[in-house]
Every structure is written in C-alpha cells, then in structure tokens.
Amino acid sequence: MLVPKSDFVGLEGVVHLVAGGETPMLQRHAAAYARFAADKATGLPGRVLFEEARGRVRQRLASMLGMQPGDIALVGSSSEAIGQVISSIAWQPGDNVVVAEHEFPSGLFALARLRDLGVELRLIAPRDHYLEVDDLIERCDGRTRLVYVSHVSFRTGQRVDVARLADGIHARGGALLLDATHALGVVPVPGDLCDFVVCSGYKWLLATHQGILAWNRRRQPDLRPLGVGWRSGDEASDPAAIYALHADATRVEVGNPNHLDVYILESALDYLAEVGIDRIAAYVLDLGGRLRTGLVALGLQVTTPESAAERAGNICFAHPRSVQLAERALARGMQIWGGDGRMRLSVHLYVTQQDVDDVLAALPGLLAEVEG
C-alpha cells in the first residue's frame, strides 16, 4: 500500500480500478472547496487570490512537465485544448496529419475534421494492438503539420517512448501534440520534448473536470488559436489591430478558467508532490506488473506491453463482452472499466495488492458468467 484508502472519500472496502475513467475524491479537496468559498466570499479581493492559486498550479504543472509556468494554460477540457492547438495552424490543402487508428476520439475526430480543408488524414494501424512508433514516424514527411499521440493509451495501456517519437517527428519537420491524460500524475512526462501537451484533470491527476494545455514556446514560438477572448490578450496600441495576444499561454484561455477546479487541482498536485511521482510510478509499475502477470496466467489476451517502460497504470485485455463483464464486476463491488472491446484495469497509488488479488480471484467466475 502506498497511501491509505482513507485519504479518499468512500474508498475503503472498494476495489477501484477505474482511474483511467474517473478517480475517487481526495478527502483534502473539502478544504480546497472551503478555501475557494472563503476567497469568493471576499468579492473583489478574491479575484486576486484566484489568480494566485492559478499561478501556483501553473508552477507545479510546469515543474512536472519540465516546462515553464508561462507555458501552461488552464482550459475547460483536454478536448478543448486539442481544438485550440489545431485551430492555431494555418492549414493548406495538401498538408497532412498523422494519428493512430485506435487513438482517443477527441484527437482522432478533430484531425479527421481537417479533411474538409483538404488536409490528408494519415491513419496508422496498430500491429496486434501495439503501436510501432516507427510506423508513425515513417508516415511523416515535409507536409506533416501535426501528429497526435497519447503518451499512455486509453485503449491498450501502451506507453510510448516520447523522446524517440519527438525526435523522429521533428526530424521530418512535424509537430507533436502529446495527450498526457493517462500519464501525468502516475509516470514522468517529458513535456519539454513535445510541441504541445494536453491533459485532463479528473483521472490520474486526482482532480476534477478541467483541461491543461502546455505550449512549448521554445519549439513553437507562435501560437495563434482561433478561439480568442478577453483573457487572451490586451487592447492593441494600434486600434486597427484591435487586440494583442499575451506572450504566454494565457492567450488560449478565452475566458475565466473555472477557479474552483483550479483550487481542487492545486490540492491534488500538492498531494501527488508529497507522495512523489517517482514513488508513484515505481509502485504502480510493480503492482501493475503483478496484475498483468495474473491476467496472462488466466489465459486472457492482454494488450498492455510487458515491459515496465512501455506501460503505466492501465492494464488491458481484449474481451468481446467487456461491457457485461464490467457490469458483473460492479455488482460484486469491483469497479473495472469495460468497453471498446476491452477491459481496462487501472492501478493508481491507492490500489492495494489485496485489490489485485481479489480481482484476479473473481475474474474466472465473472468470465464464466458472461461467456457461459
């Protein structure tokens, strides 16, 4: 056990393996609500406090990603962040984008939408559920503008080698948009190697529903999203220009971030920092490895790679009746994610060896129920 389940609301006695969907609520978030309520209650001075909280969160996120606080924007969702990045590129017919067929829909759909602008969508087929980084790189050429890749797959749990990926894409002149939603909070994420990083708050980061956009200003000095609002800039000195974008990533924040979510994110990041990402990663890779071995021993078609370097917290196996299997598991008090033809068992810092043993012991019976 890395942390006590009592750090979370209602987690004791629950086998919670759905961090890839929704993590439980930290007890300490109640104090974050209360702080927000007290700050809001002060009226105008509260707005200064909101910005101070946002500044601390940007600092923490920047240090987790190896980036600078000014690179970080807080937006409504990671899907919205993807849209802001895509909207900032002046697409020309004949440009292309590269994405794996089994990628998360928000990136896949957003890139597919570009076909209406004459942009070629280059889809990479996984090989037996495994994404070969070289397959992605080889499809990049002089007209590749953007490659969208999840650091850790929501579907298979595979963790890609970001350094190799970024090198290959950059050597061909493309930009890497990394989705760190299943990575940040559980394994180190080298954001500084990417052009853009997006992440959601409500999964491995243990916070609530907001998005993070990290813009690597060293690699991409200009970012001109189509979404622009009062918060993105100031009035321009030249009246004809109307507005001048802020120099930092605040330019993608069209309006106020949801400040309550920012307070909760700060509370979550404090907690993660107290435990330490390296300790979390070591714990999760060890326990996840044992879970994976148990699933293989049950004869299941495990799609998550064996090597610790190629996985994080999501351990997945293909199953045609995954929705029914998840329902049966839930009826026995075990939360497991089922859907998209696979089961996903997510190991985060609050999951125990006992949880893993319990689920491995229950699975043969559950499988017999849905297969029988």
- Minimal distance, residue 220 CB to ligand PLP, in Å: 20
- Number of residues in contact with ligand PLP, rule: CB under 6 A? 12
Region near ligand PLP per CB under 6 A, out of 29-37, 62-70, 177-185, 292-300: 177-185
- Minimal distance, residue 313 CB to ligand PLP, in Å: 12
Site mask for ligand PLP (CB under 6 A), range 213-252, x = bound: ----------------------------------------
Q: Which of 181, 216, 250, 267 binds ligand PLP (CB under 6 A)?
A: 181
- CA dist 273 → 206, 239, 269, 324 (Å): 12, 46, 6, 37
- Minimal distance, residue 372 CB to ligand PLP, in Å: 31
- Residue 58 or 155: which CB sits closer to ligand PLP? 155
Q: Which of 24, 126, 174, 211 binds ligand PLP (CB under 6 A)?
A: 211
Q: DSSP for 188-210? A: ---GGGSSEEEEESSSTT---S-
Binding to ligand PLP (CB under 6 A): which residues in 68-107? Answer: 77-79, 104, 106
- Residue 181 or 232: which CB sits closer to ligand PLP? 181
- Minimal distance, residue 104 CB to ligand PLP, in Å: 4
Q: Does 150 bind ligand PLP (CB under 6 A)?
A: yes
- Minimal distance, residue 201 CB to ligand PLP, in Å: 7
- Minimal distance, residue 57 CB to ligand PLP, in Å: 16
User: Which amino acid does the sequence have at 207?
Assistant: A
Region near ligand PLP per CB under 6 A, out of 25-33, 175-183, 271-279, 312-320: 175-183
Q: Where do the DSSP E strands lie in the chain? A: 15-17, 72-75, 96-100, 120-124, 144-150, 175-179, 196-200, 211-215, 233-235, 243-245, 301-302, 314-318, 334-339, 342-346
For the chain, the residue count is 372
d(CA 281, CA 187): 5
Q: Which of 200, 216, 250, 304 binds ligand PLP (CB under 6 A)?
A: 200
- Minimal distance, residue 193 CB to ligand PLP, in Å: 18
d(CA 195, CA 177): 6
Q: Burial letters for 39-68: b for 16+ Cβ neighbours within 10 Å, e otherwise?
A: beeeeeebeebbeebbeebbebbbebbbbb
- Residue 79 or 335: which CB sits closer to ligand PLP? 79
User: Which amino acid does the sequence have at 142?
Assistant: G
Q: Is residue 334 within 8 Å of residue 344, measured between CB atoms?
A: no
Record the tokens describing residue 333, joined without a space: 């008090």
Binding to ligand PLP (CB under 6 A): which residues in 11-50? Answer: none
User: Which amino acid does the sequence have at 298?
Assistant: L
First and final CA of the chain: distance in angstroms?
35
- Residue 53 or 199: which CB sits closer to ligand PLP? 199
- Minimal distance, residue 368 CB to ligand PLP, in Å: 30
Record the tokens describing residue 345, joined without a space: 């068992």
Record the tokens describing residue 21, joined without a space: 């969907």
Dihedral angle of Cα 163, 156, 202, 106, to the nearest 10 degrees: 80
Q: Which of 154, 196, 215, 271 binds ligand PLP (CB under 6 A)?
A: 154
- Residue 49 or 123: which CB sits closer to ligand PLP? 123
Residues lying near ligand PLP in the complex (CB under 6 A) = 77-79, 104, 106, 150, 154, 179, 181-182, 200, 211
